[in-house]
Amino acid sequence: MSPRKRTLRPRSQAVDEAEAYYDSAEADAFYQNIWGGEDLHLGIYKTPDEDIGEASRRTVTTMAAQLVDLGPNSSVIDLGAGYGGSARVLASTFGCRVTCLNLSETQNDLNRDKNAEVGLSDRIFVTHGSFEDIPEPASTFDVVWSQDAILHSGDRPQVLDEIARVLKPGGRLIFTDPMQSDDCPSGVLQPILDRIHLETLGSFAFYREELCMRGFAEVSVTPLTNHLRTHYARVGEELRHHYDEIVALSGRDYVENMLQGLRHWVDGADRGYLAWGIMDYRLAA
């Protein structure tokens, strides 16, 4: 079946889990306080003790610097846009229009408020929905952008079909995703998968093969896995530093569970089982 035709499949169980999680007051309080309410993805660190917000913002500017062709007539969709920090960088840097597609209405409300505060509501459009079933017509966007969101899908091939459908011919896909390494043994990531209610993670090889099958060519793939390790270690440190404050907002169970989850990510990175980086592809014209 052509990827340009919309295939309506039931949304995966993982989408329901992600929506309930990101809408919860516990998660919202944690992410807003530890990242600062703009970015909610892995950072690129100058030093291992750098501020999480600054390192996270560097990931956005590093990706944006790869999109030199963007301008006021360009349209971008950010899949799993979180609080919309990246959309505000893109709209204010390039003057482009950005559609933020995101599952969490808790985050979408904050995104809309922040866009209004900085006068970007006429350039940034916030839509509630799932990237497994993008509520947009075919061949609409010059760029599909996504940061650390596609891991939450229970059906990544379906997400990639949807990306190929909504991109204009010749359009760019630029994204990051916490992944497993290409040679990761089976079973070793179970503690990570269980905590985020997933059966698998993507990998550089998975995305390369699946995107190639859908008519994409690689522009560049930049492995940055060392920053994944630094990031989860930094978040753990920051959470321990603000332990009582976050326990008061999110509850002790949430915080303890998060600390354990962060230790699993750091451990997985130390053992060489994880991967992260910037993947930049172009759809055939």
Ligand X SMILES: C[S@@+](CC[C@H](N)C(=O)[O-])C[C@H]1O[C@@H](n2cnc3c(N)ncnc32)[C@H](O)[C@@H]1O
Q: Rule CB under 6 A: which residues touch ligand X?
A: 15, 18, 22, 39-41, 80-82, 85-86, 101-104, 107, 130-132, 147-149, 152-153
Residues 6+ apart with CB under 8 A from 94: 64, 67, 70, 71, 72, 74
Query: Minimum CB separation from ligand X for residue 159, in Å?
Result: 8
Dump the DSSP string for 114-146.
Answer: HHHHTT-TTTEEEEE--TTS--S-SS-EEEEEE
Q: Which is nearer to ligand X, 99 or 107 (CB)?
A: 107
Q: Which is nearer to ligand X, 82 or 268 (CB)?
A: 82
Q: Which is nearer to ligand X, 24 or 75 (CB)?
A: 24
Exposure string of 112-151, with b = 16+ CB inside 10 Å and e = fewer, is: bebbeeeebeebbbbeebbbbbbebebebbbbbbbbbbbb
Query: Minimum CB separation from ligand X for residue 201, in Å?
Result: 13
Query: Minimum CB separation from ligand X for residue 232, in Å?
Result: 12
Residue number closest to ligand X, CB atom: 82
Cα diameter, the chain? 54
Q: Which is nearer to ligand X, 41 or 123 (CB)?
A: 41
Query: Minimum CB separation from ligand X for residue 128, in Å?
Result: 9
